[in-house]
Amino acid sequence: MTSATPDWDARTYHRVSAPHQEWADALLDRLDLRGDETVLDAGCGSGRVTLKLLERLPRGRVIAVDGAPSMVAAARELLGERATVLQSDLVQLTLGAPVDAAFSSAVFHWIADHDALFARLHAALLPGGRLVAQCGGAGNIAAFRRGSDRVAARAPYAAHFDGWDGPWHYASAEQTAERLRRAGFEHVRTWLQPWDVTPPEPEQFLRTVCLHPHVERLPAELRDRFVADVLAAAGGPLVLDYVRLNIDARRP
């Protein structure tokens, strides 16, 4: 199917996403699986985290979903027959059968409509099924974004960002809890967690992850220069002030 999700550099993302692996490890511990469940990986990316999920499901199965074509291709290549990999925007997700649990790591802040998102995830779960997730929350990379905004406001970049606020949705714990309950979830627990990150490949990490939407708006001849200017403005060593929004909820 055709996706409205912007595509990504899946191979570079797979290589530089070490912080995402640390976030996923903590999340998987919270999921507390028996090992025989069917679990939805909502926003599987290149499949690197999905492998960790599969290790905890020796008798179960994974349905891995992502909206970006290159991510889906990379996940299918990596996972082979071990998981069913589907291309779909999460706000349009429809599964053939409901699952025991839904898992999502570092994805929901890329989705504008959290009410629609949580409604689709609620529909994807069996009664009693759990949603365990984390994503960027209120205050996520705030200091870094202020610096990148100052660079984006300068010539020759400013014309490409005029009136643009970006695709991010960094919700608060309170807003998220209300939306989850509105979607029909119970036993809702949400909280913010500061988590500073020093990426091992700063320039590639910024280009592929934090500044991906910026780079996509710029002409090819300005992209490398913009990333270098943002990195220089941030100073070194680069420390990103991540804030994770944690979500635990259950379908009645």
* pLDDT band with cut points at 50, 70 and 90 for residue 124: very high
- On whether the CB atoms of residues 138 and 172 are closer than 8 A, the answer is yes
Whole-number pLDDT of residue 4: 47
Query: Model confidence over 10-29: pLDDT tens digits?
Result: 667 767 667 788 888 989 99
Query: Model confidence over 224-237: pLDDT tens digits?
Result: 999 999 999 998 89
Task: Please give the radius of gyration of the chain, using alpha carbons only, rounded to the nearest integer.
Answer: 18
- On whether the CB atoms of residues 116 and 94 are closer than 8 A, the answer is no
Domain edges within the chain: 10-139+168-198+243-250
Residue 114 clears pLDDT 60, i.e. is over it: yes
End-to-end alpha-carbon separation of the chain, Å?
Answer: 31
Using a 10 angstrom Cβ sphere, with 0-12 exposed, 13-18 middle and 19 or more buried, the burial of residue 83 is: buried
Class of domain 10-139+168-198+243-250: alpha beta
Whole-number pLDDT of residue 14: 62
Other CB atoms within 10 Å distance of the CB of residue 88:
18
If you write DSSP's letter for every residue of the chain in order, what string do you get? ----SPP--HHHHHHH-HHHHHHHHHHHHHH---S--EEEEES-TTSHHHHHHHHT-TT-EEEEEES-HHHHHHHHHHHGGGSEEEE--GGG---SS-EEEEEEES-GGG-S-HHHHHHHHHHHEEEEEEEEEEEEBTTTTHHHHHHHHHHHTSTTTHHHHTT---S---B-HHHHHHHHHHTT-EEEEEEEEEEEE--SSHHHHIIIIITHHHHHHS-HHHHHHHHHHHHHHH-SS--EEEEEEEEEEE--
Whole-number pLDDT of residue 8: 64
